[in-house]
Structure 1
Amino acid sequence: MPATALEPISLSPRVVVFDYGEVISRPPGDADRTALLRRAGVPVEAPAEAAFWAAYWRHRAALDQGTSSIARYWADVAVEIGADWSPVDVHELWAIDHRSWLSVDPGTLGVLHALHEGGTRLALLSNAGEDFSGWLRSGSFAPLFERVFVSGELNLVKPDAAIYEHVMAALGIEPDRFVFIDNKAENVEGAIAVGGEGHVFVDAASLESWLRSLAP
């Protein structure tokens, strides 16, 4: 059933900056997670499954900061869980993992379009490896954003103050015009710490309500 367009949201002169993962995108589903575990040769049961996901997230920061390559990332995960993956295995693990982050949330996209229709400036700031830059800059939603900032290209990650300061400088705005949306409280707190406003994303409906409360 076609989605109903929302009424425009006009927040000018503020600029609303969105996170990508689990805000614009949906989180990987059970089928995605199971496919990755099976290709990795990890039993889909505790404690092996828990050990895999712990390693998966523990080494992610270096990948997102651009200080680790895709190959190095998977090698680090392999060492931690005692796996022995060939280069071809790694290519497939990367592809399964990458695809799992490409589903989008129609509710959030509706809010983005409402902001865009209201003339609100939009940007995207994602903690992600450089391999996501093409999708984030060239996907169907990309024209909604004035700028796209990918942590792996900047060698900076949220919630470090430096990444928010870089974004504000690039957008030519002062902190009182910076509005940031992220699903992680620590990342929103980082934006607030530099003088911006922020909202911890839970769902599109509460996000829309909060944004409309900011409208003059």
Structure 2
Amino acid sequence: MNSTARSPISLPGRVVVFDYGEVISVEPTAANRAELLAIAGVADVDADAFWTAYWAPRAPLDAGTISIREYWDAVAATMGRQWDTATVHLLWVCDVTGWMSVNTATLAVIERLVAGGTRTALLSNAGADYSGFFRNGSFGHLFEQHFISGELHLVKPDAAIYQHVLDALGIAADQMIFIDNRADNVAGAEDLGITGHVFTSAEQLSAFLETAQVGVSA
């Protein structure tokens, strides 16, 4: 085992801000996707059309400009369907549950940062319905603050959301390190002078932060 695998990572004067989806979380499983299709009453032959309809109104949902009901109504309309309130609830539960599984290796890296006294925060494009889970769930205590697009009515990579985070944390752009799995979101942060890292694995993230730690210590 690498001797640094569990050692603290100390980045004094810096705040490491993490995306949630596919950084802390893992993507929904095939079983979860199949369950969502079953609840929606969508046959396998129509699966591609469903997922296109699923993603199309996601940005306004994440921005908090449409409700959960309005989101699923938009998906239904694209599919030429109508879902009653009970079905929408089941779709919502299945969808949210699918995004709740976490990458334990990423959490271990965050714990190393916290152990090293490094400030951390969460910045996610997600509906406001995720706020309780992010703040009060099993890993909520690892973050100093939680920034959720559905509450802020701003979404990455809009420069305004990064500026809001900087202001709320009381730091300058060069004091923030931003971790996200999407290159466009990282580029949006870097445009403001924030240090960015495109997440591909917890191992690469660990190596990136250890290198940053050496730079701070030098």
- TM-score above 0.5: yes
The residue aligned with 2:151 is 153
Distance 2:60 2:87 in 1: 21
The residue aligned with 2:106 is 108
Provide the alpha-carbon RMSD of the alignment.
1.0
The residue aligned with 2:20 is 20
Show structure 1 runs of 5+ residues with no match: none
The residue aligned with 2:43 is 43
Read off the aligned partner of 2:20 and give its amino acid letter: Y
Deviation string, structure 1 residues 170-205 (Cα, Å, up to 9, x no partner): 000000001000011100001101110111111100
Distance 1:10 1:113 in 2: 11
Query: Contact conserved, 1:38 with 1:44, CA < 8 A, in 2?
Result: no
Distance 2:199 2:155 in 1: 18
The residue aligned with 1:193 is 191
The residue aligned with 2:86 is 88
Task: Give every structure 1 segment of 4 or more consecutive aligned residues whose post-TM-superposition deviation is greater than 3 Å.
Answer: none
Distance 1:5 1:126 in 2: 26
The residue aligned with 1:31 is 31
Deviation string, structure 1 residues 90-121 (Cα, Å, up to 9, x no partner): 01100010111110111000000000001100
Show structure 2 runs of 5+ residues with no match: none
- Residue 44 of structure 1 and its aligned partner are, at CA, apart by 2.1
The residue aligned with 2:208 is 210
The residue aligned with 1:70 is 68
Distance 2:6 2:33 in 1: 33
Percent identity between the aligned chains? 55
Normalised to the residue count of structure 2, the TM-score between the two structures is 0.95
- Residue 81 of structure 1 and its aligned partner are, at CA, apart by 1.1
Read off the aligned partner of 1:14 and give its amino acid letter: R
- Residue 55 of structure 1 and its aligned partner are, at CA, apart by 1.1
Distance 1:119 1:32 in 2: 37
- Residue 58 of structure 1 and its aligned partner are, at CA, apart by 0.9
The residue aligned with 1:117 is 115
Distance 2:89 2:75 in 1: 14
Distance 1:56 1:50 in 2: 10
How many pairs were matched up? 211
Normalised to the residue count of structure 1, the TM-score between the two structures is 0.96
